[in-house]
A and B are shown apart, each in its own frame.
Chain A
């Protein structure tokens, strides 16, 4: 009896201990959330006790700012700029740079949920809207002076850097997209110029493959390991230059319509059937693709204006290559080549206690000289009009083909929705490899994407304004 009693008591103690630990664990996590909520509701700009409006400190202690970025290609230049700012700002503001290697968005999430958020963040088109929705960013409208409004006014874009009428970032550079081609392989196959139409692209890929297959040379490749990544750097541009929005959205009706997309896919399918695409491209990542291109094994592919830098530093190559405008559906340019990832660069944390000082730093980074040099060093292609006017072209081999020209422009942002089932890239890639009913696939995509769009609009996640007068040759209007 006594033993049973002791065992029973031990069990009770154990059970009680376990319950307390569980409660503590769960409450701990809950408490953390509560902490976040209370911190998130603090008025933006609430200054730290020691900071004054200018960011200077009464006791003479420096105002410490944290700047986080996931850009690695420009870090030496950014370090140089920050050092200069730290020495010359005159208000004792010290910026500390953190360059993330991977998982930037997740790191930012963790930082905000644990109240260790940076004061200034690098924003990209892929993360800006999500950061705004999560409440990470502070609007900068109140800081804009007339000079900045004049210089950056034409690049305030809804759902890019402006959300619900509030501005969160300013533009610096953008990425153009081009057909990247090996001039020597084109010449060897007897082709004089890069393809202007998709039919020419199919024919050229076939000729290059026929001329070089014995040496392992193929006409075309893309990083199909991620079909979305592959198509969003190729078909997106082909369509925008042909006069259609590149991600399947119809600006005129405000709905998704993948019919133009399916037209382009037919040509990709033809290249696959012709065996003009590098074998194994189905599981090819972008870097192995670049390595093969640098080795002279690929006739052409489509990609961003980051490629010249890649072939300068990451995969130095002796091949004679260039960038050219993407081909269009019928060889006619009826739209403009979309400049992507433009409109955002730096933003200020909503949780920063030093928002005035953060703006001071941001204002310095958006100075003419900084942006001009950023372009001239080839870190990105300037899209801000007054910088484009005064900056020299970067001295990087191949960059001349990627510079912003008469056929490039920014497009209004298309809504991002998550439909049930396969996304458009996977669905069309499946068709490209294994065939099927293209019409049925297009109809199914239209139905699912428009359903998801309706739901997202209902939930207030996206807003859609059909523009019946939309002109793809002037996507931002006159």
Chain B
């Protein structure tokens, strides 16, 4: 078989852009981070080699571990609400529903709107002093004084609800694609055999959807564990750290956001936190993949 030099040249040409991007935006920063996590480095001046000091600091850093705990609460809450809701909507819209396409568009819309915009809108909906939710509740005489939706007690719930609102449409669409790939004749055979709708869902839809669901859940887990953008806009991790999630904590170390006084970047320690965070997310995703391995079996 003749070696096709021309083909190789073409292939390489097509690969060059992505190789350049991967190397400069992916691999180089990764190497940079892997190096600096062993240094005390503020982004300027001399980087001081400190060995494993950043990791011993990480182990005793209560703020980081609190943020890990908050991440699990946030991700758990978001997944528990988002996935069943997405699947339910997908099943409903997969049927012959009048205006189904319009509803799909509406449900998907939050996915294409900027997270910052969504978050500002939700801040105005939930804020305690003149937010729409409190105004409505008070007009209906359901509460006598404003509920502090963004206060220490309820802030996590509020940011979870915002995250669910932003994510449902996206996963709904993925589930919908999975549902539409299930052969109709399976349902027809089951119907002839006398299976009712519930049984068809349980015995056909769910098993046939399993490979897609496995991927959707994995994507949802990763997105939930890494999500922090809306939290940054709505609460900035507050009040008193109640909504500080892992990647927001990391972001603040690398790009200090406090507007009060000069704050110093901690690129060395931030790199160590970034590494640990990636290990946590990767570990959970790997564990999920292992536990759900049967789902990938195509019937």
Contact = CB atoms under 8 A, between A and B. Distances in A.
Contacts of B262: 125-127, 129-130, 416
Contacts of A416: 261-262, 264
A282 B148 contact: yes
Interface stretch (A321-329, A352-360, A374-382, A422-430): A422-430
B185 interface: no
Contact of A25 (B20, B257, B258): B20
A290 interface: no
B220 to A, nearest CB: 27
Interface stretch (B86-94, B122-130, B207-215): B122-130
A282 B238 contact: yes
B201 to A, nearest CB: 42
Interface stretch (A9-17, A59-67, A84-92, A362-370): A9-17
B193 interface: no
B241 A430 contact: yes
A225 B128 contact: no
Interface stretch (B55-63, B96-104, B275-283): B55-63
A contact patch SS? helix
A125 B261 CA distance: 9
Contacts of B20: 21, 25
Interface string B24-37: 10011001000000
Interface in B1-54: 1, 3, 8, 12, 15-16, 19-20, 23-24, 27-28, 31, 42, 44-45, 48
Interface stretch (A148-156, A199-207, A230-238, A261-269): A230-238
Contact of B23 (A21, A247, A420): A21
B240 A430 contact: yes
Given A22-B27, A126-B262, A421-B61, A226 B240 contact: no
Nearest to B40: A459
Nearest to B46: A459
Interface in A136-176: none
A418 B252 CA distance: 13
B contact patch SS? loop
A292 B27 contact: no
Given A17-B15, A279-B128, A283-B238, A229 B258 contact: yes
- Residue of A134, A230, A283, A430 contacting most chain B CB atoms (<10 Å): A283
Given A25-B20, A216-B129, A280-B146, A225 B151 contact: no
Contacts of B263: 228, 418
B76 to A, nearest CB: 22
A28 interface: yes
B260 interface: yes
Given A228-B261, A422-B63, A283 B23 contact: no
Interface string B232-246: 001110111100000
A100 interface: no
B105 interface: no
B184 interface: no
Contacts of B15: 14, 17
A440 interface: no
A130 B238 CA distance: 28
A260 B121 CA distance: 40
A341 to B, nearest CB: 10
A14 B14 CA distance: 12
Nearest to A223: B259
Nearest to B236: A225
B266 interface: yes
Interface in A11-45: 13-14, 17-18, 21-22, 24-26, 28-29
A3 B149 CA distance: 66
Interface string A285-323: 010100010000100000000000000000000000000
Contacts of B264: 416, 418
Contacts of B152: 282, 433-434
Interface of A: 2-3, 6, 9-10, 13-14, 17-18, 21-22, 24-26, 28-29, 125-127, 129-130, 133-134, 216, 224-233, 247, 278-280, 282-284, 286, 288, 292, 297, 416, 418, 420-422, 425-426, 429-430, 433-434, 459, 461
10 contacts: A14-B15, A25-B20, A228-B260, A282-B240, A286-B259, A292-B130, A416-B264, A418-B263, A429-B240, A461-B45
User: Which 5 A-B pairs have CB atoms at the shortest separation, nearest pair first?
Assistant: A280-B128, A229-B260, A282-B239, A25-B23, A228-B260
